[in-house]
Each structure stands twice: as structure tokens, then as C-alpha cells.
A and B are shown apart, each in its own frame.
Chain A
């Protein structure tokens, strides 16, 4: 199968007459690493919800691996945005085991196999020594890895990440993208972010969205970023990590 996610003319929102995303066509090929960027309030989260099947589009169709997203949800491993709750009492291994809920059932305990798969994914993300620790004692980057291990525990074919680098520092970002690059050899990755600087060299395609899909391709022009964000940007690249600076108000050249 060549394409994993396909959106045709998708319009969706929460209040009638006020669509958050409008007429979006988007195809994600297998083993793509797609970054969807756009400003806050530009419809990124809505787009994610539509792909996940949490929100039904008003118009248009969504298919994930050839079926409507309500059905093959196990195909998608979802990594939500890190919300800092400093006090929820839970250990790392219990968070990762949540990725096995679909394979379990009500009034049943997690099996030995569920626990082995959870351990395996902690290993895969190099955080096996954190298993018994309190989730609250971890750094932002470690928490992010735990949430990825949880998503991978369901053995998905697509990994969907919401603002993955919002709460990690710059050095952690780099090793984080190296990790995603490695995972990308076996899995399709889609991430959304408002931070243009968070797009790394490992990313294969970039889509730019602000209510409508402004551009989609291998490169990102400063014109399309300016259009999406409503203000001019200049993109400067050093060391493979694009940085961004706000333009002075004039049209940028590139």
C-alpha cells in the first residue's frame, strides 16, 4: 500500500458556519516523515482530531490505510502534547501499558505479553531504567519518550505527534529528532507544530496550514510561511536545523 493517510476536501469545525479547517486535500505516502506547520489557532489540532477519528468532518472524506479512521485506529500511534500535570501519581511502566489497552479488555488484567511489549518499547527508546519511576520526576524530554513508547506499544504503522518539542530544550530536540529519524525507517511519521524552528533535517515533507492547506512539498518557501503566519519570515539554515527569524516587514527574497 502506497498511501497511509488520505484527506479529500475535508472541512471540519466545532460550530456550524465557522469551519476551523477548510477544503483540505492531503496525502501521506508510506514511510513519509511529514511536518505539518501552522500558527496557533490555524487548525492543526482539528486536523489531527479528524485524522484520529475523534472528530467527524462536515464535508469530505478521510481514510487511514484505506478505511475510515473510526476503524483502523490501532494503525495510528498517537503522541499527545505534553501537558504538565505535576502531581498525577503514576509510574512510567503504567503509562506505557496504556498503549496495550486496545489489546486487552474490561475486567481483564494486562498479560505477561503486554508487559513484555511495554518493556521492549522502553528499551527501544533507551529509557528502560526509568520503568519504575514516578512520571513526575522525569524531565520534559524523558516524558516525551515515555509517551512515544506508549504509542509504539500498540504496534502502529503511523506515528502522529502533536507539538512534540514544545516543552523540551534545544539539545534534547536534536537527539529527539535523531530518534524519530531512526523510527522513520519502519514507520510513517506525521507531526504538527507551530514552531517552524522545530522542523529538522530528518523531515522529508512539509505541509503548511492555516485553515486551508497553503503548501505541501519537500521544501518550505518563506512566502508560504508568511502566508500561513500572516507575517513575513526568513528561513536560515545552519547545521541542518532551520532557525527562524521574524522578517523586518518587507517581503523576503528567498
Chain B
């Protein structure tokens, strides 16, 4: 594994893994405490339509995916602020429409299906410097927003109605949260692939939730866990010649199972 670090593609993979874990831990924590993993899933799948369109029209797939993810997040925000009960339907429709339109666009563009597979299952060993730049900028934006508005994010997540009575602009906070979720989902597609984005956004945060006493501690712990899973998965995949995205998810799932057992034992001792 150490000698593999001599290759530029491996260095890039390690850098993106670590940068991705920061976004993943912070946004995954907010998704988990707000019980919104289905929302993250539908945003991620909506972005697939943007990928297809980018291949068809010949522009950067990252831009296409980001555009569709953010548009999808905005759409859900608009629907859910009016009628809460319809959010479920809107998310399900967006999930499927994103996939369907992506498949149609890609077929029309005549793109080789390997490209498609790399988005669905991740392409950690083929990340570019522009991907690294995207990850770094996203981390900075997330860190600035969350540190600046931490008490508002905490209040809206814990008790939205009370926060509104306190004059917190809950719609603005929710909107920011959805847009950051969209951007994080696109970034994670590079690492574990579209299909496994939800797992990466929920498993590290779910483990952290068992052991953390406050939201910011949960964010830090989830980020560390995501980094460990990414790097362990990357090394193991390299040694065994397996797809890194899938190995990362399997390691995360195994750690989740172990944590459930530990948390159960801890609570029975108490």
C-alpha cells in the first residue's frame, strides 16, 4: 500500500477521501438528526439526470450533476415549506425522474457505459485535480456556514417551531442545509458512487450519534469515522484488487454492526 502512494492517482484518491470525509461527517450528521436520509437519496439520484444531460450536450458532468442536485433541493424546499405531507411524494418522484432522464440522455448521447458505471459505483482511483479543488472549496464553505450559524442549525434541527418563535429564519437555514446536502452528494458520488451516497451520509453519523453528547462532537466523530472508512477501504481495495467504493461501504456497514453491539452492551452495563 505504501509504495502505491508513489502514484499520482493514489495521492489524489487519498486527498479526496480525507476532504470528502469532512463534508460527509458534518452534512451526514445534520441529515441523521433531522431524519432526512431519504431526502439525501433523492437529491443524489436527481443529479444523475444532470450527468446524462452533460454527456449529451458535451459539458462537464460535475457541473450537470451539481446543477440538477441543487435544482432538486430547491424544488423539495419549495414543496415542503407549503405542504409538509407532499414532501414524501415529491422526493420519490424526483428520485425516479432523475434516474430515468439520466438513462435516456446517456443513451441518446451514445456515451460508453463504463463512464456511466464510474458515476454509479464511484471512481476514486480516477479523481482529477478539479475534483480535489471542488472538495476543498466545498469543505471551506461548509465549515464557514456551520461555524457561523451553528446555534441556528442546532435550534432548527432540535425544535423548528420554537426556533421560529425565537425569530430564527428557519426557511433560510433549511434552504442552506439542502443546498449543502446537494453539493456533498455530488462530491461523494466520486468516492463511493451514486448508489452508495446514502450509506456514506448516514452510517458514520449514525455511529457517531450513539457516542456523542452534542451536535458538534457528533460532526467531528462522524468526519473521523468517514476518513477511517475511506482510507481503510481504499487500502484494502488496492491490495485485493476490488472496487474501492464498494469496499468502503462494506467496512462502514461492518463498523456499524459492531457499534450497535458495543452501544447495547454499554447501555446494559449502565
CB-based contact B215/A89 at 8 Å: yes
Residue B69, interface by CB 8 Å: no
The residue in chain A whose Cβ has the minimal distance to the Cβ of B211 is A89
Query: Which of A92-100, A117-125, A187-195, A240-248 binds B?
Result: A92-100
CA distance A101 to B159 in the complex (A): 13
CB-based contact A80/B154 at 8 Å: no
- Contacting residues of chain A (150-206) with chain B, CB-CB under 8 angstroms: 150, 154
CA distance A224 to B155 in the complex (A): 40
- Contacting residues of chain B (211-256) with chain A, CB-CB under 8 angstroms: 212-215, 217-218
Query: Which of B19-27, B100-108, B144-152 binds A?
Result: B144-152
CA distance A110 to B165 in the complex (A): 18
Cross-chain contact of B166 among A53, A80, A134, A154 (Cβ < 8 A): A154
Cross-chain contact of A90 among B148, B149, B158 (Cβ < 8 A): B158
CB-based contact A95/B158 at 8 Å: yes
CA distance A97 to B165 in the complex (A): 14
CB-based contact A91/B155 at 8 Å: no
Contact flags A28-60 to B (C-beta < 8 A → 1, else 0): 000000000000000000000000111000000
CB-based contact B33/A89 at 8 Å: yes
CB-based contact A98/B158 at 8 Å: yes
CB-based contact B213/A134 at 8 Å: yes
Report A18 CB to chain B, min CB distance, Å.
15
CB-based contact A102/B158 at 8 Å: no
Residue A73, interface by CB 8 Å: yes
Cross-chain contact of B209 among A73, A87, A94, A97 (Cβ < 8 A): A87
The residue in chain B whose Cβ has the minimal distance to the Cβ of A79 is B162
Interface residues on B, range: 20 to 34
Residue A27, interface by CB 8 Å: no
Contacts of A101 in B (CB 8 A): 151-152, 155, 163, 166-168
Report B216 CB to chain A, min CB distance, Å.
9
- Contacting residues of chain B (51-91) with chain A, CB-CB under 8 angstroms: none
Interface residues on A, range: 20 to 34
The residue in chain A whose Cβ has the minimal distance to the Cβ of B218 is A89
Contacts of B167 in A (CB 8 A): 73, 101-102
CB-based contact A54/B161 at 8 Å: yes
CB-based contact B215/A90 at 8 Å: yes
**Among the interface residues A73, A78, A106, which one has the most CB atoms of the partner chain B within 10 A?**
A106
CB-based contact B213/A91 at 8 Å: yes
Residue B36, interface by CB 8 Å: no
Contact flags A68-95 to B (C-beta < 8 A → 1, else 0): 0000010010101000000111110011
Report B133 CB to chain A, min CB distance, Å.
26
Report B132 CB to chain A, min CB distance, Å.
29
Contacts of B209 in A (CB 8 A): 87, 89
Cross-chain contact of B161 among A80, A97, A154 (Cβ < 8 A): A80
CA distance A199 to B167 in the complex (A): 32
Contacts of B155 in A (CB 8 A): 98, 101
Cross-chain contact of A88 among B149, B158, B165 (Cβ < 8 A): B158
CA distance A206 to B159 in the complex (A): 29
CA distance A89 to B163 in the complex (A): 17
Contacts of A95 in B (CB 8 A): 158
CA distance A89 to B211 in the complex (A): 9
CA distance A95 to B151 in the complex (A): 10
Contacts of B152 in A (CB 8 A): 101, 106
**Among the interface residues B151, B155, B169, B212, which one has the most CB atoms of the partner chain A within 10 A?**
B151
Report B269 CB to chain A, min CB distance, Å.
14
Report A97 CB to chain B, min CB distance, Å.
7
CB-based contact B162/A78 at 8 Å: yes
Cross-chain contact of A106 among B33, B148, B163, B212 (Cβ < 8 A): B148
Residue B92, interface by CB 8 Å: no
Residue B164, interface by CB 8 Å: yes
Contacts of B169 in A (CB 8 A): 106
The residue in chain B whose Cβ has the minimal distance to the Cβ of A132 is B213
Contacts of A97 in B (CB 8 A): 151
CB-based contact B166/A99 at 8 Å: yes
- Contacting residues of chain B (161-184) with chain A, CB-CB under 8 angstroms: 161-169
CA distance A109 to B151 in the complex (A): 8
Cross-chain contact of A91 among B149, B163, B165, B214 (Cβ < 8 A): B214
Given known contacts A54-B164, A73-B167, what 5 new A-B pairs fall within 8 Å (CB)?
Answer: A54-B165, A76-B165, A101-B151, A101-B163, A109-B151
- Cross-chain pairs A/B with CB under 8 angstroms, 15 sampled: A73-B167, A78-B165, A88-B33, A89-B33, A89-B209, A89-B214, A90-B214, A91-B214, A98-B154, A98-B163, A101-B166, A101-B167, A102-B167, A104-B151, A106-B148
Q: List 8 A-B pairs, minimum CB-CB distance, nearest first.
A: A101-B166, A102-B166, A107-B148, A89-B212, A102-B167, A134-B213, A98-B155, A89-B218
